[in-house]
């Protein structure tokens, strides 16, 4: 099946950082992915020095516990973003990835692993601790993806 020929997409991966700036990508993915699968992906930066110091100062230097907290924050952000963009987001699959790599690596890898035939993402996100989808990330995904990439503004 050639998705570009108007037959629709079977599985859309929408990359978000949970910010309102990235909501346009979630809304667009829901429209183009209707009738197929839609997976929302949020890449969280794995714990680094600031988070580890915060845990150590709080007398909790357990790396696994810290990673679980970061993953829980990612799930919360993803759920909130989906709730902002749809009245019934239960049908949207959710995936939170903790990584010390740049988000574009995880986005391209997830699309390949999940067999997605379209990636949707925003041109900008919030960056910082949450691995944002800045314009450079969108450009990198466009350059490396083996499937079409739809960039929302």
Architecture of the domain defined by 3-152: 3-Layer(aba) Sandwich (3.40)
Residue 126 in this model has a pLDDT that exceeds 80: no
Contact predicate 118/3, CB 8 Å: yes
pLDDT band at 131 (very low <50, low <70, confident <90, very high): very low
Question: Among the listed ranges 35-44, 51-60, 66-75, which one has the minimum average pLDDT value?
Answer: 51-60
Question: Any alpha helices (H) in the chain, and if so which ranges?
Answer: 23-32, 49-57, 63-85, 103-114, 135-144
Q: pLDDT at position 125, please?
A: 61
pLDDT in tens, 85-123: 998 888 999 999 999 889 999 999 999 999 999 999 998
Mean pLDDT of the chain: 84
Q: Where do the domains of the chain lie? A: 3-152
For residue 128, is pLDDT > 60? no
Most confident of 45-49, 92-96, 137-141: 92-96
> In angstroms, rounded to a whole number, what is the distance separating the alpha carbons of residues 4 and 50?
44
pLDDT tier, 48 (very low <50, low <70, confident <90, very high otherwise): low
């Amino acid at each position: 099946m050639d998705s570009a020929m108007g037959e629709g997409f079977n599985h859309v991966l929408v990359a978000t950082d949970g910010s309102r700036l990235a909501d346009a990508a979630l809304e667009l993915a829901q429209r183009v992915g209707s009738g197929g699968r839609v997976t929302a992906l949020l890449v969280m930066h794995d714990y680094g020095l600031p988070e580890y110091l915060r845990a150590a100062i709080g007398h909790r230097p357990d790396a696994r516990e810290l990673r679980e907290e970061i993953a829980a924050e990612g799930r919360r952000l993803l759920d909130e973003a989906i709730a902002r963009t749809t009245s019934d987001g239960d049908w949207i699959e959710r995936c939170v990835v903790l990584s010390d790599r740049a988000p574009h690596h995880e986005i391209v890898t997830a699309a390949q692993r999940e067999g997605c035939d379209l990636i949707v993402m925003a041109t900008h996100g919030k960056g910082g601790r949450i691995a944002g989808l800045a314009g450079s990330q969108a450009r990198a995904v466009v350059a490396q993806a083996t499937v079409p990439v739809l960039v929302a503004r």
